[in-house]
Structure formats: structure tokens, C-alpha cells
Amino acid sequence: MLRNENEDKDKLSQELRDLIDEMASEGMKQYFVDNAMKKVRQGAHPDTKQNYGWSLLRMLARNNVYGKYYSLIEELVKTYKADINTKDEQGYTPLESMISVKLDVKHIMNFIRLGAHDSKGKPFVNLLADDERNISLTKIDLAFLFGDEYVLRSGSYYKARNIGSGTFSQVFFGKKDEQKVAIKSYKPDINFDTFIEEADFLIKLKEQANQSSNIIHLIGIDLGIHSNIILEYASKGTLSDFMKAKSADWKTRYTFVKGVVSGLKFIHDCKIIHCDIKVANILLDGDDLQVKICDFTNALNEGAAAAYPRTSAAYCAPEVYQMSNHTRASDVFSLGVLIWEIAAWRQAWNVLIEVIYKDQAISLTDKDRDEIIKNIHEYYAGGKRLGIPSKKPNKTPSKISSMIHMCWSGDASRRPTAPKLEKELSTDICIESDACRQMRL
């Protein structure tokens, strides 16, 4: 019986190859697409590699009316396990064929999201900049990729002064028309993929119907000398700088906790893992100090693998350091450390160094930074945590103390979700008498 089934499938696969031969010679016709898909659904294998060089997947991918058949390509890859990176007789993958016919970047990006790469495993940006194919990423391509409404003219905004710097970029205060903006300008030596990926995450967050006020909002993108992401301006700077400059009562601190939890819930609802929740990535805006989570440089789509830990050491969950396994739960671990910082009004990195190297006078120049990071991870992996302030005048409200303990549990499955934390915080902290007393101090 099995032999007959295999013979039937072999026959179907031959019929499929014949159909694809006709498609290759006569062009893309709905009749051939419909019949080829019918053969696949009946059991014919979608990849026809036997001295053939092309597959149904390739024929769909390389055609200029690609968008019309994207759902079929998804079906071939996801349902029928077609090899999205099978090579033709010249050694090219479908992605390279799509680029060779100058398919719209928007369609190329969709194909990338299904796992496509070139014959050497390179990302699509390398292909778009390939001089031999004479293809470059232009503002027109950006409009296809992100939508016309997000691509700004270089002269429509300007940089006034530098207000921050990081590994990947510098941030400038500026204006777009009369609106105050922050301009994140990527350094020239940073992989262009990083810019594209962050812009893609910010657009995904912005286009949600239930926009969050606790996420920094995208205004637009531009390719100048540097790759620029233009964002709303948060007038009070980072929570990190705010903590260094002044103190705050628990009423204010509690609004910070609620804002970060609300923003993280929104991010997770969008199936994004932030991967770098920390006080330096929390902005404050306006007289009411509204929290806005920023910096999606290290973010991942939920379920995506990472080659290395993307989280700063003081906030990094044990499982991330061990396996680079970024999840909602690892974001919640980082959140727990951040809430501890709000409670202690100190930065965890400095306190961890004090605790780990308590008998030694130490500075970052005295010890190799990698060794410090390793020791911090071993501290967390061993089940150790920083002490939560429990004495007046800095006593931590019991609700917040309990939340910190739950968030930085060594068992990722025991950590609460962001929605659960938001619900827990929905009741006023003043129901706890110890917190109320602190608010009146």
C-alpha cells in the first residue's frame, strides 16, 4: 500500500515538474499556478531539484507580480515545508532571483521574514548594496518598505544639539517644522540591518489601533549621510539621569513602575521582545513625568533566535546568558531589576559590583569588563539577588517588594506576565498603610 502511495506521489511530482516547465516557458499564468498548487496539495513535493533547477516556489518568488501570490508562497513554506532557500542551476537562491528582477523592497522584506537569504547566508541589505547587480536602497525603496507617510525629506527637520550617545547611534535634539523631535542618528560603521529592524519595530508599534502612551512614538525615517530615525521628544530625559539628579516620593516612583509595566504589556501584545529593559531606556516627558520606553535596537520578534545575549548584564535573566533565550519572561526579569532600582533609587550595575567585590577597591579600569559581567551572571545564576530596601525612610511598599521577588525569580515559568502585573498595579498603592505613610513624608 505504501509503495503505491509513493508511486502516486512520484507521479504527482512529475506532473508538477511538467507544469512548472510550462510556467517557465510561457510565463506566469493563473491556470498553471492553480494547477501546480493543486498537485502540491494532493501530495506532490513543492521542490523539484532533480537536475531541474527551478521549483514552484522559485517561479512564484521571481515573478514581478509576486505580491499576488504571496499567500501561496506562505502556504508552500509553512504548510508544505518547501525549501525557501533551494538553489537553482547557477547556485542562486529565490531571494537573489527576486533582487535580480528588482522586485519591490516591500515584497523582498516579506520573503526575508519567511527565512529567505542569499546563497552565502547573507542578509538582504548586503544584496541590495551589491554593486555587481547595480541595486541600491533608495528613498523610493524605503517608501515601499515602510510606507510613504514615514519617509521624510532630509530638509524637513534639523539637528540642533547632541543629547545622548550609545553603542549604535547618537541622539540629537531637533525640530521638524515647529515640532520638537529627537533624532537617532546611526553611526556609519553600524550594520544597516540594525537601522531597518528598529524602524520596522517602531512602525509595527505605531500602527496598532490601541496606541500606548508609554512607548516612544516614531515620526519618520530618513537616509542622509547617516541613517536617521526621527522620534517624539521626551523633555525630561532618561529615568537614569533623573535618578542621579534628584529624589522622588513613592507616589512618583509608583507612577514610574505603572508606566513601564503598561508599556511592556503593549510591546508583548505586539509579539515583540524588547530585550533591553533598563533605566537608561526609559524616557520621561512633561511636567507629569510620563514614562516612555525607548530603544528597540536589540528587540526581537517573539520566538526569534538570538546569537548572543542582547540584554545588559545587570538586567540579564540567567537563561538568557546561558542560552540567549529571549522571551517575555526574560523581559520581566529585567523589569524586576528596574523596579528594584526605582525602589533603591540606585543603579543595579554599581550595587552589584559593590556586593560582588565587597572586599576589593575596584573600578572598571582595574578589572576586565568581561570578567565583571561573568561574575554578575554567576551571581544571578546562583540564586542571589540584591537586597530590597526595607527600612525607613526608604522602605519599599510591600506590594512592590513582592512584585520584585516574583519578577526576578530564577524559574522563568514562575515570573508573572506583564498583563498580570498591570492588573496588580491597577489598585491604588495607598490601600497599603506603609506606602501611604511614605507618600506623606
> Which portions of the chain are predicted below pLDDT 50?
1-2, 50-53, 64, 125-137, 139-140, 430-441
- Domain range summary for the chain, segments of one domain joined by +: 2-133, 148-232, 239-440
In this predicted structure, what is the pLDDT of residue 38?
A: 86
In this predicted structure, what is the pLDDT of residue 441?
A: 39
pTM score: 0.70
Cα dihedral 284/290/296/298 (nearest 10): 70
In this predicted structure, what is the pLDDT of residue 439?
A: 44
In this predicted structure, what is the pLDDT of residue 202?
A: 94
- How would CATH label the architecture of 239-440? Orthogonal Bundle (1.10)
Class of the CATH domain delimited by 148-232 = alpha beta
In this predicted structure, what is the pLDDT of residue 15?
A: 80
In this predicted structure, what is the pLDDT of residue 440?
A: 43
Q: Residue 428: exposed, middle, or buried by beta-carbon count in 10 A (0-12, 13-18, 19+)?
A: exposed
In this predicted structure, what is the pLDDT of residue 176?
A: 93
Class of the CATH domain delimited by 2-133 = mainly alpha
In this predicted structure, what is the pLDDT of residue 96?
A: 73
In this predicted structure, what is the pLDDT of residue 63?
A: 57
In this predicted structure, what is the pLDDT of residue 271?
A: 93
Cα dihedral 239/244/247/252 (nearest 10): 0
